[in-house]
Amino acid sequence: MMIAYAERFVHESDAEARQDDGVSGLDLQLQGILDWSPAATAPAARDFGGLRSAKPRAVVRPSGADDVARSVRAALRSPSLTVAARGNGHSINGQAMSDGGLVVDMRAAGAGHFQVVVGAGAGAGGAHYAVVAGGALWDDVLERCLSYGLAPRSYTDYLGLTVGGTLSNAGVSGQAFRHGPQTSNVTELEVVTGQGETLTCSRSDNSELFFAVLGGLGQFGIITKAKILLQPAPDMVRWIRVVYADFGEFTRDAESLVTRPDGDTFDYIEGFAFVNSDDPVNGWPTVPLEPDQRFDPSRLSPDAGSVLYCLELGLHHQRSNPPSDVDSVVGKLLGRLGFVEGLEFRRDVGYADFLLRVQNAERDAKATGLWDAPHPWLNLFVSRNDIAEFDRVVFKGILKDGVGGPMLVYPMVRSRWDKRTSVVLPESGEIFYLIALLRYTLPYPEGPSAKQLVSQNHEILKTCKENRIDYKLYLPYYQSQEEWKWHFGKQWGRFVERKARFDPMAVLAPGQKIFSRSSVPGKMASDGGPAGLH
């Protein structure tokens, strides 16, 4: 990609550039662009959460991995500069920000690399794969793979996220029960480490870096390329929602479905809690899949509680399958479930439309301004052992009136997750649940303020702790060393060792607030622990 070399220092004003002591003194030698105009730094100071702001010194638009490495090496030469890779900035708590440092806009190089390999690489754990840039958006990856009749195996619910951004966390959706998270579906990475080296890594080569980076919250390296496993894409999805009044029955059925063998269960399994009322945002109207479907509350028994549950299921099929065949498979699978009779909704959608379903909601939310309002989201993994207690104290207690958006609750299977990655899961049980409280704030005083919702999130976590619920934050955000240590638990020592090895001066991903920048190379390692922990 040829981006004018002469543009490597692009400023709104040259005078401003000369006065800048942090970046203008560095010769990044970029093939791409270094931009410290307010037009570039202001968007990098915001994220989807809309709760925090930290303005970078400048934004790098890399032309490829070499520019990413040059940025990291430039930061290493300075006493205090940090580097944050920014995927699509869809974090909630400023995780992709760098206060006064460099933000590398990974999307700039997102379309620069794309290669699909069909029917090869069986030795790498799958017959088909795509090699894509770390800054590629998943919806773009999907679209390009579909043109080969292929598709990734594991997704997030929303595909306007970058490959590097989700692999730095885990990447979960209704396919994770079968294929594991997205971190379980990547076989090779190209990574620029915190020492400015560009390395290829996999389960067999540079394996410690490979596993460190997956779920590594951007702490060990910047993913510039990923090799992603693919599968043949189906044409269609039979999309189904069934309603439960009883949480025990809901979890029994959900757990039975996620542990059945392939071919004897659905291809997509999620679920959500909702309010037993006609509230358009939190209640019955959120369940039907088509405008002409109606939620009939008279189907519920009179002793149904204030919170109900919905299993959301998907079965892949081909357009050429006779509808009666699909009906018969679905009938057999649903026949084993104990949902409320008559509260069952079905719809056939194209595979891509199904995977892009949240993008439709995005369009609506953008039109009403909700997309750009603050999102005090809370995501947790909760052990199956404590999920009934979580339901009692959180869903039926603190959240009995809803959160002003979806409250996802669905099970996943631990053995599909590789414990060598940096992802942190609850301590006990083979099955654990994703809980996602996806709050959308209405303009105050129409609804509670973002601050009130953040404080309700704190109350939920406090209640979990008081009730000894085995949980971990997903997409974690903590501010103190004690909290991070608690989060990582037994994995803390390994995380610190990995940091000392791959980013010893703590240059990378400062917005996670785990380590602070060190000016002495190797100090973290020689101390046996990072000197500059938050």
Which token pair is 40? 């570039």
In DSSP notation, 326-357 reads: HHHHHHHHHHT--PPTT-EEEEEEEHHHHHTH
Select from 123-131, 151-159, 309-317, 412-420 the region that touches ligand FAD (CB under 6 A): 151-159
Signed CA dihedral, 419, 423, 428, 429: sign only: negative
Q: Say whether residue 172 binds ligand FAD (CB under 6 A).
A: yes
* Closest CB 516 distance from ligand FAD, rounded Å: 15
Is there binding between residue 194 and ligand FAD (CB under 6 A)? no
- CB nearer ligand FAD, residue 162 or residue 282: 162
β-bridge mates for residue 222, sequence order: 192
Tell me which H or E stretch contains 433: strand 431-437
138: which 2 tokens?
């998943």
- Judged by CB under 6 A, the chain residues 86 through 125 that form the site for ligand FAD are 86-91, 95-96, 106
In whole angstroms, the minimum distance from the beta carbon of 327 to ligand FAD comes to: 29
Nearest-CA neighbor of 532 among 510, 506, 511, 507?
506
User: Is residue 432 part of the contact set for ligand FAD (CB under 6 A)?
Assistant: no
Tell me how far, at minimum, the Cβ of 340 lies from ligand FAD, in Å: 26
Residue 84 binds ligand FAD (CB under 6 A):
yes
Closest CA to 80 of 529, 511, 524, 507: 507
Q: Should residue 154 be labelled a site residue for ligand FAD when binding is judged by CB under 6 A?
A: no
Q: Could you give the 3-state DSSP secondary structure of residue 456?
A: helix
Q: Which CB, 158 or 502, lies closer to ligand FAD?
A: 158
Sequence-distant (6+) residues with CB within 8 A of 14 are: none
Q: Which range in 38-46, 320-328, 339-347, 508-516 contacts ligand FAD by CB under 6 A?
A: 508-516
Residue 405 sits at the vertex; the CA angle it makes with 284 and 452, to the nearest 5 degrees, is 125
Indicate the residue among 34 and 223 with the shorter CB distance to ligand FAD: 223
In sequence order, what are the beta bridge partners of 291?
Answer: none
Active-site residue, selected from the candidate residues 67, 105, 270, 386: 270
223 forms part of the interface with ligand FAD (CB under 6 A):
yes
Q: How far is the CB of 503 from ligand FAD (least distance, A)?
A: 11
Q: Judged by CB, which is closer to ligand FAD: 148, or 371? A: 371
Active-site entry in 47, 67, 90, 312? 90
Answer yes or no: are the C-beta atoms of 264 and 387 closer than 8 Å: no
State the pairing for strand pair 128-133/150-152.
unpaired
Number of residues written out for the chain: 534
Sole window of 84-92, 244-252, 257-265, 449-457 interacting with ligand FAD (rule: CB under 6 A): 84-92
The tokens of 226 are what? 């990923």
Annotation says 270 is catalytic = yes
Among 9, 36, 158, 433, binds ligand FAD (CB under 6 A): 158
Q: Does residue 233 contact residue 351 with C-beta atoms inside 8 Å? A: yes
Selected from 24, 78, 169, 421, the binder of ligand FAD by CB under 6 A is 169
Q: Does 185 bind ligand FAD (CB under 6 A)?
A: no
> What's the CA gap between 136 and 226, in Å, rounded?
10
Distance in angstroms (rounded) separating the CA atoms of residues 411 and 86: 30
The residue annotated as part of the active site, out of 157, 208, 344, 497, is: 157
Catalytic residues: 90, 157, 270
Sites of contact with ligand FAD (CB under 6 A): 48, 84-91, 95-96, 106, 134, 156-158, 161-162, 164-166, 168-173, 217-218, 222-223, 475, 509, 511-512
